[in-house]
Homo-oligomer: A and B are copies of this chain.
Amino acid sequence: MSLSRHVAVLVGSLRKESVNRKLALALEKLAPASLRLEIVGIGDLPLYNQDVEDQGAPASWVQFRDRIRAADAVLFITPEYNRSVPGVLKNALDVGSRPYGKSAWNGKPGAVVGTSPGMFGGFGAVHHLRQSLVSLNVPVLQQPEVYLSGADKIFDAYGNIANESTRSFLQEFLHAFEVWIDKTGVRPASPDKAGQELVRA
């Protein structure tokens, strides 16, 4: 039995009926047993303020950082707000990156999915996010790139991905992400492999 990789999923929109949230849930169902996706909420994180940190970080900040630290990897699913990352998602990045020298993101394998109801598939948001992830030392899966245009039309009535080709593309993406986590993450990919290494040593 291989070890399950735990992926913290951050959703860039707070709307209940957000396609980003729907997509997170659809991917959770599409993912193989070895990849456990779980949404980590970002809607209750107070806006980052170092003065607040210095007086004692709010419980929600501490819990959020702990959940990121506990995960094997992070997956960002984001819409584009005004050609960039939604403030709510950027705030979560900022909160997770502090206090200075104790970033929860450091070295955590990551992947980014952009969505939009229109044509661009969140391109602007994805690449702004990728620029931040460089400085946060999150090794980000390069390919397949995922820009889901027309994202409000990809689900069936049960919240599954309706279209077969979109579904297999997303499965391919999840597989590539799993390989990426094993390559760049800090944990052994499975007890078997870890065991092999012990035998070899």
Interface stretch, picked from A29-37, A47-55, A154-162, is A47-55
Dominant SS at the A interface? Answer: helix
What's the Cα separation between A196 and B91 when bound, in Å? 49
Instruction: Decide yes or no whether A94 CB sits under 8 A from chain B.
Output: yes
Instruction: Decide yes or no whether A14 CB sits under 8 A from chain B.
Output: yes
Instruction: Decide yes or no whether A82 CB sits under 8 A from chain B.
Output: yes
In the complex, which residues 27-86 of chain A have their Cβ closer than 8 Å to any Cβ of chain B?
43, 45, 47-52, 81-86
Interface stretch, picked from A2-10, A131-139, A185-193, is A131-139
Interface residues on A, range: 35 or more
Instruction: Decide yes or no whether A176 CB sits under 8 A from chain B.
Output: no
What's the Cα separation between A50 and B82 when bound, in Å? 14
Q: Is the CB of A47 within 8 A of B85?
A: no
In the complex, which residues 112-161 of chain A have their Cβ closer than 8 Å to any Cβ of chain B?
124, 128, 131-132, 134-136
- Residues of A whose CB lies within 8 Å of any CB of B are 13-16, 43, 45, 47-52, 81-95, 97, 124, 128, 131-132, 134-136
For the complex of A and B, the 3 pairs showing the least CB-CB separation, nearest first, are: A87-B91, A87-B90, A14-B49
